[in-house]
Chains A and B, each alone.
Chain A
Amino acid sequence: DAGITQSPRYKITETGRQVTLMCHQTWSHSYMFWYRQDLGHGLRLIYYSAAADITDKGEVPDGYVVSRSKTENFPLTLESATRSQTSVYFCASSESGLRDHTDTQYFGPGTRLTVL
């Protein structure tokens, strides 16, 4: 049971380049989320998805694009990377959006992105 995986785990890129971070989960969870984690800010939601082909903005969506053509995959694309997007990116998934204890969000291992 692989759970939730992210790739790459580490990425160094240059300003202006396009970068795609991958997230894959094997639980068939409906909800998937992208967060970034920075010192002093904690985890901030970038985008989330309630199901395939349904996505919505979170707290800090500018400069990012997401898609969800399949339930198990939720890629995050930085269309033109900037230094301010240097961060650790976590993908998470949860079973549903109902008011239920089992809607715990489970996190992937993270991708450490550096934009030079």
Chain B
Amino acid sequence: GQNIDQPTEMTATEGAIVQINCTYQTSGFNGLFWYQQHAGEAPTFLSYNVLDGLEEKGRFSSFLSRSKGYSYLLLKELQMKDSASYLCAVRGITGGGNKLTFGTGTQLKVEL
């Protein structure tokens, strides 16, 4: 099975940089996803890592270390609209290799 840990809440200032960490233990690894979820809305895809290293996509970057079971999501130039929950999810190797196990999410609050 899989176990995923991420902080429950974080607060940051508009314009700043914030790093949201995710650690996982898994019996089979086939990629790690980050999703953003605004209150009352569906999760939306942000990033995907399957190999070690950094993936950059505009203001958002995601890093993966498979040997350490560790990932982080880096948000730069924070905006008020970035206030949301950020979900870390690990894809396993059973069920056709497409089942996701989600962490409980990190609620990010961006303040002025």
Contact = CB atoms under 8 A, between A and B. Distances in A.
Given A99-B30, A104-B45, A107-B44, A94 B98 contact: yes
A94 B31 CA distance: 15
Contacts, number: 63
B100 interface: yes
Interface of A: 31, 33, 35, 40-45, 48, 50, 56, 58-59, 90, 94, 96-99, 101, 103-110
A106 to B, nearest CB: 7
B48 A101 contact: yes
B100 A96 contact: no
Contacts of A59: 101
B48 A104 contact: yes
Nearest to B6: A42
A105 B95 contact: no
5 contacts: A94-B98, A97-B97, A101-B48, A104-B33, A104-B45
B104 interface: yes
B90 to A, nearest CB: 12
B7 interface: no
B21 to A, nearest CB: 16
